[in-house]
Structure 1
Amino acid sequence: MEHTDLIDKRLTDLEIKAGFTEDLLDHLNQLVVRQQQQIDLLINEVIQLRQQASDASAGGFRSLRDELPPHY
């Protein structure tokens, strides 16, 4: 009888571990999806900033006064 009780306990422990592992995997998958969305947004922002920089440099001469920080 003790042998089957030990097997049942080990099986129960394995099932609990498997459940926690599934939860962890789901959490990590959600985290990866969120990070990929953030990466995509950042890539789009970099593309826009590069476009703005190339548009500004193509605009011709700019006064140094235009370069003053806003608090002046």
Structure 2
Amino acid sequence: MRSAALEKLRSEALNLSEAERAELAHELVASLDGTIDSDAEEAWDAEIVRRLAEIDSGTAVLVDREEFRRRMRARISGS
């Protein structure tokens, strides 16, 4: 059963812009994760920077959405 406070909060949250809802959702999910692993955060930050550098330099092999979906479907089906 939902409390009145939760229902009011839900109603107000749904009236936010998409960007505001995304930010709120991110913060709420992050609050469920417990303590932040700073080593993992640093590693992901470095990985993001590395991948962006590959894209900027033209060395990354990029695929469009349809190709990605085709590959994932093939993996899932075991083909």
- TM-score scaled by length of structure 2: 0.28
Larger gyration radius, structure 1 or structure 2 = 1
Q: Which fold has the larger relative contact order, with Cα–Cα distance below 8 Å and residues 6 or more apart in sequence?
A: 2
- TM-score scaled by length of structure 1: 0.31
Structure richer in helix, relative to its length: 1
